[in-house]
Chain A
Amino acid sequence: MKKRVLPLLLSATMAAGLFAGCDKGGDTNTTTTAAGNSGTQASNTATEVTAPESLTIMVDGTLVATTEEGQAEFIAKLQELTGIKTIKIVQPDHSSYYDNVSQVMASNDRPDVILLNSTYLQSYAGEGILWDMTDAYASSDLKTRHDAKNSGVYVDSVRMDGKLYGMPMQRGGGCVTYVRQSWLDACGLKAEDITNYAAYIDMLTQFKNKGLSTVDDYVIGAAGFIGSEAPYINYWPEFYQDAYPTFVQQADGTWVDGFELDSMKAAMQRLADGVKNGLIDIQSLDQKTSDARTKMASGEYGVFTYWANHWAANLENNIAKALPDEDNTLVALEPIDEVGTYINRLANVWCIVDDGNNDSSREQAIFKYFIETMQDGDKVQFLWTYGVEDVHYSYKAGTVLAGTEKEKTYEDGTFHWLEMKSDNTKLYSKMHITAVDALVTLKNDPNALAESAVKASQLFTANCRNEAMIPSTDAYAEYNGSLITIKNEIIAKVATGEWTVDQGYEYYKEQKGDQMSKMIVDSLNALN
């Protein structure tokens, strides 16, 4: 029984810890249980630790240094800077990362350090296979560095019952809505005037009526009408507004299924209307993210909700490449009144896998030489942010993108990104940590992020709320897979016009979605 209660308590506390972080939508002064109360490793922190001999890291595609993009050089530099003799990086395909994580963690060949999202952090910590780094962090220089930049709230947001099982290296980030400046200009519109849904729809309609899209009439699209992972709705903020398709905790602490609220019905109707009126690309149903990005670049879309970071610059570069004669400027919209705030994802965290031998010296060493150094504010953080000198970036005089319209020559001593090894028409734009989202101030930061990326990131940070965390229960694990399938089918069929909203909810009851939902809601409320 104890084993079951622990993860539930941890989850519930983690959910509470999420109301910290963004400038809006939460009390930034709120902190969860103070660190340093676990005591399990307290005695070990005083012990002097040496660098681990070897380290296996499992990471998704957010580490740009893949095997094709200079991973060998990255590893060599990381080994040199940390003193860890042998570092091995396991980097499965980004889209199937968590399938691989599940398989690897179920085997006896677990990595030493692993990058996890909030769902997996919660589950694995609850199972006791992640090392509790609470005390190590409390007495570390890393905490001091976080405190110096007021970043403690982001660390606190991933605590579970006050304990820390993973370390965020940056803010979670989220999406903002980008609009082509040239399209706004063509219709005589200004981004700052798009303040509510009526103005937003009017903007889309004007774009459509003006025939600005290179294909047909639609002017906006995304990969899926609903996302496959939390926060699910972040590609369509203006259409979903206050609706959320899964479980939400109300102000009084009780849980409800957001899919059963009127706000969700209204959201689906808005999506259906958008498709019916020819504003939304119906192929959003089954296209991949890369397809949607390509359509934005090629001028099929003039409005696109996407990540508020280096992607702002990437999208502009892609437009410049596909449409060299057109203005490629993108402007990030502030959230419209009905949206209020964009959603900040819970940050992915670096976790140390506990070997379960009751001796934490290995884990202490990994914390000190890997986790701490990643945010040392100095050379190692620089490596994780910008990569390897003369492989990913350079200070030497030289010309990049030679022979293209984007050709640029840099003087000696000026920081500049180099061409990607896999595609020499593109430049690197980050390594793993996004400079503007870093939790520790970086010494000698070249501030190399494009202005548009900085602007988008700042706009997002000033206008976001944290993603809600849902505790795990047996009923949730048992039935949510089936329930998600039903909900996604309804959203897809309503959005594409195959069903009306009412038909969708009739089907929901036919499939016993309401009963599965009730079981999950009851199990969540039982935690209160």
Chain B
Amino acid sequence: MSKNVDAAPTATVAVSTTTKWKKIKTKMWKYRGFYLMFLPVFIFALFFFYLPMIGIRYAFYDYNGLKEATFVGIKHFKTMFTDPFKSKDFFNAVLNTVEISVFKLLLTTGFAVIVSIFLNEMINIHFKKVIQTIIYLPHFLSWVVTASLFSLILAPNSHGLINTFLLNIGVIKSADEYIYFLGSSAWWRPIYFLINLWKETGWQTVIFMATLSGINPELYEAASIDGAGRFQKMRYLTFPAIRNTILTVIILNLAKIMNLFESVWVLQNNAVIQTSQVLETYIYNQTFNSGRIPNYGYTAAVGLFKSLIGMVLVLVCNHWSKKVREGRGIV
């Protein structure tokens, strides 16, 4: 008796599963064209995004790329957090990454908003387009070229544009006082942010300009009739219109803040290593600087930790995004 009682629901589940699969198959066949188009993307993602993730396992192994990997459990994570010689550098890199990334994000986004609003206020359309083109261009320069350019402009000699200017206007008294912007711990970060502003502000204005162009001009006309001045229109019309876009841009970029390498790497040098070392440059240095074959296990562990923080940030940002964008998340 008990056998029959147990068998009935199992059979129902089996039938229901079979029906579900049939429906899915039918749908897949119906939309086979779309699935065919999706296939290359799926294969690409599988091979280039997911397959390499097998390497994550090395975070739990001692592995130098030659000898067979030895399982060591969470040894590398312990080293990262508790080793008296390595944890200090690691935490310094984590702190630097967060500080540099967050400040850079807020600064470039804020500046892009201001520039977008100013551009939006421009009446002469041709002049506006010229300005837009000029400020977009730096985005297309590689970081290597950008670093070379700024090391020339900021050179601590009479060829350096900034130092010569400072000398000419009397801020510095003589050639002995030339400022080594990229070689000074005090100056490195402000200069890094300025270079980022120069390079990325223009590109970030694209999104804000798109939002601004969507504002109904009748609203401005109505505001004018009501006696609103230019500043009041900016404050009460333009800014509220792009507020959601600003939050979206910040949230989307916040998820990527742990990925900071190229821009820091090309501007970094031995004298500013403590203020400029971020997680990705730390991983690189630990991997290739010892003068010996590295233990990839430790650096894989640091990389995995970085990815986990990144994933948490994505989930948190997704949560915020849903709130800000009326239920629409980023993932």
Contact = CB atoms under 8 A, between A and B. Distances in A.
Interface of A: 3, 98-99, 102, 105-106, 119-120, 123-124, 127, 129, 215-218, 224-226, 229-230, 278, 281-283, 285-287, 470, 472, 476-482, 484-485, 488-489, 491-493, 496, 498, 511-512, 515-516
A512 B269 contact: no
A286 B66 contact: no
B270 interface: yes
B293 A478 contact: no
A282 B89 contact: no
Nearest to A105: B65
28 contacts: A102-B294, A215-B157, A217-B175, A226-B270, A285-B183, A286-B151, A286-B271, A472-B292, A476-B291, A477-B292, A477-B295, A479-B85, A480-B289, A481-B286, A482-B86, A482-B286, A485-B285, A489-B270, A489-B271, A489-B274, A491-B270, A492-B270, A493-B185, A496-B183, A496-B184, A511-B88, A512-B84, A515-B85
Contacts of B64: 127
A488 B273 contact: yes
B85 A216 contact: no
A125 to B, nearest CB: 11
Contact of A512 (B85, B180, B292): B85
Contacts of B291: 119, 229-230, 470, 476, 480-481, 484
Contacts of A129: 66
A480 B285 CA distance: 11
Contacts of B88: 511-512
Given A127-B66, A498-B185, A216 B292 contact: no
B61 interface: no
Contacts of B185: 493, 498
Which 6 pairs, one residue from A and one from B, show the smallest C-beta to C-beta distance? A106-B65, A481-B290, A492-B270, A286-B269, A492-B271, A127-B66
B182 A286 contact: yes
Contacts of B175: 216-217
Interface of B: 64-67, 84-86, 88-89, 151, 155-159, 175-176, 180, 182-185, 269-271, 273-274, 285-296
B289 A481 contact: yes
A369 to B, nearest CB: 27
B85 A102 contact: no
B295 A484 contact: no
Contact of A480 (B67, B274, B292): B292
B285 A481 contact: yes
Nearest to B151: A286
Nearest to A491: B270
Nearest to A120: B293
Contacts of B290: 476-481, 484
A225 B271 CA distance: 10
A124, A478, A480: residue with the most chain B Cβ atoms closer than 10 Å:
A478
Nearest to A286: B269
A493 B155 contact: no
A282 B271 CA distance: 12
Contacts of A470: 291
A291 B184 CA distance: 20
Nearest to A519: B85
B292 A119 contact: yes
A470 to B, nearest CB: 8
A282 B175 CA distance: 12
A67 B82 CA distance: 48
A216, A281, A282, A286: residue with the most chain B Cβ atoms closer than 10 Å:
A286
B271 A493 contact: yes
Contacts of A218: 157
B67, B180, B291: residue with the most chain A Cβ atoms closer than 10 Å:
B291
B86, B175, B176, B287: residue with the most chain A Cβ atoms closer than 10 Å:
B86
Contact of B294 (A481, A488, A515): A481
A218 B175 CA distance: 11
B303 to A, nearest CB: 15
B269 A477 contact: no
B159 A225 contact: no
A50 to B, nearest CB: 30
B292 A123 contact: yes
A215 B66 contact: no
Nearest to A287: B151
B155 A283 contact: yes
A225 B85 contact: no
A516 B85 contact: yes
Contacts of A217: 175
B271 A485 contact: no
B271 A496 contact: yes
A479 B89 CA distance: 12
A281 B274 CA distance: 23
Contacts of A226: 270
Nearest to B269: A286
